[in-house]
Amino acid sequence: MPTKPNGEVADDFFEPPDVAIEIMSPGQSMRAMCERARWFVEHGVRLVVTVQPRGRSVYVLRADGETGPLRSDDVVELGDVLPEFSFVVRELFAAIDIR
């Protein structure tokens, strides 16, 4: 993460992040979200996680392909970019469920 000389996080970033997370908004099309995810990967983002709340599904896009839809007890593995990091789709949606 870029920092200022005093150690604070920089205001401007000029390198792509390793990971981008996109959450589908009401009215957003799957096509638009996929195009955006592909754009991120084409511009250097190593891994894009797209979350579809209505379908309770997750897709993961990397330069070498896409994984998904992942649902329920499927495990989302991100260890190639975030060492030892994974999560269960069901647990993600349980954590953000506001009912």
Q: Where are the domains of the chain?
A: 19-96
DSSP code for 25: P
For the domain spanning 19-96, the CATH number is 3.90.1570.10
Mean confidence (pLDDT) of the chain? 92
Instruction: State how far Cα 61 lies from the chain centre.
Output: 8
The 10s digit of each residue's pLDDT in 6-44 is 999 888 888 899 999 999 999 999 899 999 999 999 999
> Does the pLDDT at position 73 exceed 80?
yes
pTM of the model: 0.85
From CA 49, how far away is CA 85, in angstroms rounded? Answer: 13
- Percentage, residues of the chain above pLDDT 90: 80
Task: Using the CB atoms, write b or e for 54-83: b if 16+ within 10 Å.
Answer: eebbbbbbeeeeeebebeeebebebeeeee
Residue 10, pLDDT score: 87
Reported confidence tier of residue 99, pLDDT bands at 50, 70, 90:
low
pLDDT at 1 over 80: no
Is residue 78 predicted with pLDDT exceeding 70? yes
Report the helix count and the strand count for the chain, using DSSP H and E: 2, 6
